[in-house]
Structure 1
Amino acid sequence: MAWFYLFCFVLGAVIGSFLNVCIYRIPAGESIVSPPSRCPQCGAGIRWYQNIPVFSWIVLGGKCASCKAGISIRYPLVEALTGGLFVLVFHTFGISWPTLVFWVFMAMLVVITFIDLDHQIIPDVISLPGIVVGFAASFLLPWMSWTDSLFGILLGGGSLFLVAAGYELLTKKEGMGGGDVKLLAMLGAFLGWKAVLPVIFVSSLLGTLVGVPLMLIKGADSKLAIPFGPFLATGAVIWLFWGGGLVAWYLGFFR
Structure 2
Amino acid sequence: MYPAAECWTACLFTAAGIHFGFSKELLVALLFLSLLMIVTMTDLQYMLIPDKVLLFFLPLFIAGRMFSPLDTWYAGFAGAVCGFFLLVFIMFVSKGGIGAGDVKLFGVIGLTLGVKLVLIAFFLSVMIGAVYGMCAAARGRLGKKQPFPFAPAISAGSALSYLYGEELFSFYIKLASGGA
Name the TM-score, length of structure 1 as normaliser.
0.65
Q: Give CA deviations for 1:123-182 in whole Å, capped at 9, x if unaligned.
A: 0011233233222211222544331111111111111011101211xxxxx211100000
2:102 maps to 1:175: no
State percent identity of aligned pairs: 29
Q: Give CA deviations for 1:65-94 in whole Å, capped at 9, x if unaligned.
A: xxxxxxxxx222222222221111111111
Task: Look up the SS of the partner of 1:218 in the other structure.
Answer: coil
After TM superposition, give the deviation of residue 221 of structure 1 in Å.
5.2
After TM superposition, give the deviation of residue 220 of structure 1 in Å.
7.9
Higher normalized helix content (fraction of residues):
2
Q: Distance in 1 between matches of 2:141 and 2:168?
A: 34
Bigger RCO of structures 1 and 2 (CA < 8 A, at least 6 apart): 2
Gaps of 5+ in 1: 1-73, 169-173
After TM superposition, give the deviation of residue 219 of structure 1 in Å.
7.8
CA RMSD of aligned residues (A): 1.8
Q: List structure 1 segments (4+ residues) > 4 angstroms apart after TM superposition.
A: 219-223
**Equivalent position of 1:90 in the other structure:** 17
Number of positions where the alignment pairs a residue of Structure 1 with one of Structure 2: 177
C-alpha contact 1:153 1:187 (8 A) present in aligned 2: yes
2:88 maps to 1:166: no
Kindly name which structure, 1 or 2, has the bigger radius of gyration based on alpha carbons: 1
C-alpha contact 1:157 1:182 (8 A) present in aligned 2: yes
C-alpha contact 1:135 1:146 (8 A) present in aligned 2: no
**Equivalent position of 2:55 in the other structure:** 128
Q: 2:36 aligns with which of 94, 109, 126?
A: 109
C-alpha contact 2:133 2:142 (8 A) present in aligned 1: no
After TM superposition, give the deviation of residue 191 of structure 1 in Å.
0.8
C-alpha contact 2:54 2:105 (8 A) present in aligned 1: yes
Gaps of 5+ in 2: none
Name the TM-score, length of structure 2 as normaliser.
0.90
**Equivalent position of 1:227 in the other structure:** 149
C-alpha contact 1:149 1:192 (8 A) present in aligned 2: yes
C-alpha contact 2:109 2:158 (8 A) present in aligned 1: yes
Question: Partner amino acid for 1:158?
Answer: F
Q: Distance in 2 between matches of 1:99 and 1:159?
A: 27
Q: Distance in 2 between matches of 1:76 and 1:208?
A: 26
**Equivalent position of 1:192 in the other structure:** 114
- Choose 240-249 or 177-186, whichever is displaced more: 240-249
Q: Give CA deviations for 1:89-134 in whole Å, capped at 9, x if unaligned.
A: 1111111111111111111111100110111110001123323322
The 3 A distance-change label for structure 1 pair 160 and 194 is same
C-alpha contact 2:83 2:110 (8 A) present in aligned 1: yes
